[in-house]
Amino acid sequence: MAIPQHTAKPWSMNSVNFVGQSCVVTARRQMTLSPVAGRVQIRPPQATDAQRLGVLNRQLGYATEVEELVSRINRLSELQEHFVTVAEVDGTVVGWVQAEHRFSMETGDKAELVGLIVAAAARRSGVGRLLVQAAEDWATDRGLRSIVVRSNVIRAESHSFYRQIGYTQSKTQHVYAKPLQRKSGV
């Protein structure tokens, strides 16, 4: 789906119907967005969105089977510490965001954006800003006072996006992963 690139103009986010999980989230900021943003519906994901979410995930290198995505949508809808929402333009899902309420010894409570994907054709149209704003509003409504996001060093476009919407780089780190195997008999 091709989303036209327009020159941004002033636009009030209060005209967008933000819906996240089971609560209505109201936008709090005035932003400059493209006319595409006026056609965005922010809503919770549905099982019927799984195929389109798979297409979006593959654009960033994350291949996931449709059945697995349906399972994840269903599970995440039950987890109170998570917020997941999609952006739909003219009936097509063009992006999603996930945030999580985190608690740790070193920082206490905070929100973390754990995923954000916007279709290549919808980038630079305001969709990403709307998705992040919905997650920020969810976090604010939970009483959280900060939100963080981790962005892979190879995603330079993401880095400039987050800086443009008010995020500052606080550190650089390495991420290590180790697959775990169940012990037999457990």
Question: In three state form, how does the secondary structure of the chain look?
Answer: CCCCCCCCEEEEHHHCCEEECCEECCCCCEEEECHHHHHEEEECCCHHHHHHHHHHHHHCCCCCCHHHHHHHHHHHCCCCCEEEEEEEECCEEEEEEEEEEEEECCCEEEEEEEEEEECHHHCCCCHHHHHHHHHHHHHHHCCCCCEEECCCCCCHHHHHHHHHCCCCCCCCCCCCCCCCCCCCCC
Q: Please tell me the distance from the alpha carbon of residue 140 to that of residue 110, in angstroms, as a whole number.
A: 10
pLDDT at 183: 87
For 107-118, what is the mean pLDDT? 95
Please tell me the least confidently modeled range out of 25-34, 145-154, 177-186: 25-34
pLDDT at 173: 85
pLDDT at 12: 29
pLDDT at 77 over 70: yes
Q: Which residues of 92-117 are buried (b: 16+ CB within 10 A; e: fewer)?
A: ebbbbbbbbbbeeeeeeebbbbbbbb
pLDDT at 9: 26
Indicate the pLDDT class of residue 60, thresholds 50, 70 and 90. confident
pLDDT at 39: 87
For 154-180, what is the mean pLDDT? 88
Q: What is the mean pLDDT of the chain?
A: 81
Question: Measured between alpha carbons, how far is residue 60 from residues 56, 66, 71 in Å?
Answer: 7, 16, 20
Q: Please tell me the distance from the alpha carbon of residue 183 to that of residue 186, in angstroms, as a whole number.
A: 6
Indicate the pLDDT class of residue 186, thresholds 50, 70 and 90. low
12-43 per-position pLDDT tens digit: 233 333 333 323 333 344 444 465 667 899 99
Which residues on neighbouring strands pair with residue 96, listed in sequence order? 86, 117
For 73-92, what is the mean pLDDT? 95
